[in-house]
Amino acid sequence: MKIQRFSKIGFILAAAGSAVGLGNIWKFPYMTGEYGGGAFVAVYLITIAFIGFAVMIAEMLIGALGRADTVTSFERVAPKKKEWWRFAGFMGFNGIIIMTFYSVVIGWIFYYLFLVFGGLPQSTQEAKGIFNDLVANQVLIQIFFHTVAVILVGYIVYRGIKGGIEKINLILMPALMIILFGLLLYAFSLEGFSKALKFMFEPRWEDLNSEAFIRAIGHSFFTLSLGMGAIMTYAASLPKDASIPKTAFIVTFMDTLIALVAGLVIFSFLFEFGAQPSQGPGLVFISLPTILNNFGTLGTVFAFLFFLALAFAGITSAISLVEPVVQYLIDRFKFTRAKAVIVISLVYWIVGIGAILSYSNAWGKIFSIGGKPLFDILEYTTDSILLPLGGFLIAVFVGYVLQKERAYKYVGKEMGRRAFLIWRFSIRYIAPLALIFMMLNLMGIIKI
């Protein structure tokens, strides 16, 4: 089946939408707060440049050469042992595993969009109580919003590259940036903005412990949606005259910029009222709503806009997680797009309900394995094993299997010979070693 092609701007916004997700607006700020600010940001930016950007070019290159689903692309591009390299293409299924809990989190965000109009929490304890009650007791509400997320994402993917994915990103990505930059403009007027700026961009190297270093490397990679086949699948529809290095740079820049803007906005609000930035994963769902309550009616508006931006980011990433497997079923098993979307959506909807129940008081023990909730197991497996493994396979394939001359033809001429050699060194040595080290550390096999 012939794959539809993005327009140039459509591809950039779709790829940026894939990269810009909950990791940018939710995870990056709380990790920055948890690990001391500026030093964490510095390591994050360095590794974005030398690992994330390099792997993104490599993943785009495979997709642009293969012009198919992830499995078929590896088969087509591999100069030898095609039957072995096709197994690397099954990284495209990582996205569906992620969606089993990602759509649940999107559901939480939908819930908070309605919650803010009922009044923001007066204290951190009240905010914790609301969130904990939702997760532990409000199972039916979670399943409802999880289902809404599944149906919405499924419909967009069903509409295809041009009618669904490109169109929704042409709307949501500009809207997301308008909301975040609008909040940033307001943050400029706050006394907390200068403190936020200092916190994020003045490195205190004594705060950078070994764990923070590993997490910065890991997050710089995960935030770009690499190792799950999303960028590769989108690149299969890249316009033939598009520049892979330039496109990868724009996507990486947009992704990083939005993460930094989100951090500045959140920390400006927190520092304005003397709150601590090191609140962990509850920073957005617990600390921020409490702080925004101090702004009165304006705080309600800010909270709604922020969760709306978070919802937009979640949706644009979610569709990129589903599309690789949908395209695989279309290419390899001749499914119609509608049938592929229904099958995949049912799979992660059902497992997602299990993830919801694993956090509940009533069903938690039944949906846990070895004392760990199914939600945590799914998240750990993707973060610690599957995504780093996917990135490692991409780096090894492009660095050691794909012919150097072929890679130079498609990306080297655009980059220039010196930049190409630096990129190839990174993809052959820096990225694989960093990913192996990170994966072994997260799995607890080695410690520093």
Per-residue burial over 350-369, b if 16 or more Cβ lie within 10 Å, else e, is: ebbbbbbbbbbeeeeeebbe
Residue 280: its pLDDT value, please?
60
Residue 415 lies in a domain: no
Which tokens in the block code for residue 268? Answer: 């400006």
Let me know: does 415 contact 249? Beta carbons within 8 Å. no
Whole-number Å distance between alpha carbons of 201 and 324: 37
Q: How many domains are contained in the chain?
A: 1
Question: Is 353 contained in some domain?
Answer: no
pTM score, whole prediction = 0.90
Q: How far apart are CA 221 and CA 104, in angstroms?
A: 23
Residues 138-151 have pLDDT tens digits of 999 999 999 999 99
- Looking at this protein, which amino acid is placed at residue 447? K
The CB density around residue 436, as the number of other CB atoms within 10 Å, is 15
Burial grade of 292 (CB within 10 A; 0-12, 13-18, 19 or more): buried
Q: How does pLDDT run across 282-298, given as a tens digit for each residue?
A: 778 888 888 888 888 99
CA atoms of 195 and 38, how far apart (whole Å): 12
CA distance 136 to 286: 15
pLDDT band at residue 178 using 50, 70 and 90 as cut-offs? very high
Q: Is residue 84 part of a domain?
A: yes
Question: What whole-number distance in Å separates Cα of residue 108 and Cα of residue 102?
Answer: 10
Q: How many helices (H) and strands (E) does the chain have?
A: 25, 2
**pLDDT value for 281:** 65
Asked if 312 and 66 touch (Cβ cutoff 8 Å), the reply is no
- Percent residues over pLDDT 90 in the chain: 62
- Extended beta strands in 207-286, E state: none
Angle between helices 124-136 and 94-115 (to 10 degrees): 130
Domain-embedded: residue 406: no
For residue 205, the SS3 value is helix
Backbone angles phi, psi at 37, to 5 degrees: 85, -115
Q: What's the pLDDT tens digit per position in 223-257?
A: 888 888 999 999 998 888 889 999 999 999 999 99
Q: Does 362 map to a domain? A: no
The CA distance from 66 to 236, in Å, is: 7
> In which residue are the tokens 């695989």 written?
328
pLDDT band at 2 (very low <50, low <70, confident <90, very high): low
pLDDT tens for each residue of 342-394: 999 999 999 999 999 999 999 999 999 999 999 999 988 887 788 888 999 99
435 in a structural domain: no
225 vs 18: CA distance, rounded Å: 6
Q: What's the domain range around 323?
A: 8-347+385-392
Residue owning tokens 């943050």: 187
> For all residues of the chain together, what is the average pLDDT?
90
User: The domain that contains 143 carries what CATH number?
Assistant: 1.20.1740
DSSP, residue by residue, 314-362 = HHHHHHHHHHHHHHHHHHHH---HHHHHHHHHHHHHHHHHHHHHHTSTT
pLDDT at 1 over 50: no
On whether residue 315 sits in a domain, the answer given is yes
Query: Is the predicted pLDDT of residue 222 greater than 80, yes or no?
Result: no
pLDDT tens digits, one per residue of 27-41? 888 888 888 888 889
Is 397 among the domain residues?
no
